[in-house]
Amino acid sequence: MQYDLIRSARRSLSAQIKEGRLIVRAPITTSEREIEQFLLKHEGWIVKHMAQAQERAQATLETPTLTKEELRALTRQAKEVIPQRVAYYAPIVGVSYGTVTIRAQKSRWGSCSTRGNLSFNCLLMLAPQEVLDSIVVHELCHRKQMNHSRRFYAEVLRVCPDYYTYRKWLNRNGYLLFAKLGK
């Protein structure tokens, strides 16, 4: 089994699949034998996730990218829709907010600054409305908790009880939306 090995001052072994490559992170003192045993123990997980990574890579290649005109139209639509959703949910969450910015980002759905400014990905317009709303709620809840603690997620779930369903949708399909931006 081929893998990239990264040794550091960590305490435990871990494996991840990134861009179709297996990356093993290990404590500096871990022997090759321990690493091989770890990989054998987790072989099922590795095989499954490597296959998923290959499927995703193929699907990404087959996904048509947005033209400049399509991207501009999507951004215009997002600038109309997303601020309305933010304005709708802010009183339900019980927070105020600053500016709402729309961007075409390749790896983020949204963010919230410490000043309360919100940023959202225009690609959310290609997701189901409930998914978009769950991201809006997520970012607004950061106005109360600037972290991802239990208290933060309790607040998110108070407003959006099916949040994890929508997050799962993004985990399964979001990479195809990102692929629409091209390389």
pLDDT 10s digits, 24-57: 999 999 999 999 999 999 999 999 989 888 888 7
At residue 59, the pLDDT reads 73
- pLDDT value at residue 62: 81
What domains, with CATH codes, occur in the chain?
A: 4-62 (no CATH), 68-179 (3.30.2010.10)
Per-residue pLDDT band for 167 (boundaries 50, 70, 90) equals very high
pLDDT band, very low/low/confident/very high, at 60 (cuts 50, 70, 90): confident
* Nearest partner of 109 among 169, 22, 65, judged by Cα: 169
Q: Tell me if 5 sits within 8 A of 26, measured CB to CB.
A: yes
**Amino acid 20: pLDDT:** 83
58 vs 27: CA distance, rounded Å: 34
